[in-house]
Amino acid sequence: MVAKRIIPCLDVKDGQVVKGINFEGLREVGDAVRMGAQYARDGADELVYLDISASKEGRRTFAALVERIAREIDIPFTVGGGIGSVEDAARLLDAGADKVSVNSAALANPALIEQLAGKYGSQFVVVAIDAKCVEGQWICTTHGGSRFTDRELYSWAAEAQERGAGEILFTSMDHDGTKAGYACEVYARLCGMLSIPVIASGGAGSVQDIVDVLTAGRADAALAASIFHYGEIPIPVLKQALRAANVNVR
């Protein structure tokens, strides 16, 4: 059985890690490089860095920050935000990122997924999906959750896989930052229909929440921010509790 992964998520704005609730009310919590290095020492399996203002403000993720991260961190990390072309991805991968995450640009131009997978391989391509439940349907959004699209979560995830995505990172905007638990039924459905790994994001507030999304939710990895950033659940403590709950972790 493949081990489940624990992935701290660092939302970055101007080089600083920020956190909010439902994508709003952002506040700074620390330096992106220092925090990532500490998580690596604590036993995180991977890291995700998302430049959350890049797409919204029309800026590219800075390769200089990625270079600093790569020098300090010895575990795989994914970078997303403002990646709109193969050239953007190349800049970040050359700077040391292990994977790139595309969201808004992939929705605007789905062929970008094929282009990235064709050049680098599916294992380098993560398609991030931010969606909100509207009248019982999960509607995909872009630009940091600020714009609704006409795409629906399940059909878009299936298309992304077909076009060459290596992983799906789904964030429930309704659960983001609430610490009220993940949307486990949604993850279970996604994992049941896809053959690629699904990373769960949005809602972690306790060890049990993470146990639930990795078991009942069938997710391949649990991504969280607040509980790690504020020291509520140290990663070694979390992994020990997951093993006690018979969840296979590294």
Instruction: Report the alpha-carbon distance of residue 154 to residue 139 in Å, rounded.
Output: 9
Active-site residue among 51, 130, 212, 220?
130
Positive/negative CA dihedral, 162, 97, 224, 130: negative
User: What is the three-class DSSP state of 129?
Assistant: strand
Is 45 annotated in the active site?
no
Instruction: Report the alpha-carbon distance of residue 170 to residue 165 in Å, rounded.
Output: 13
Q: Which of 248, 184, 240 lies closest to 217 in space, CA to CA?
A: 184
Are the C-beta atoms of residues 249 and 3 closer than 8 Å to each other? yes
Active-site residue among 11, 45, 51, 176?
11
Instruction: Report the alpha-carbon distance of residue 170 to residue 71 in Å, rounded.
Output: 28
Is 98 annotated in the active site?
no
Known catalytic residues are 11, 130
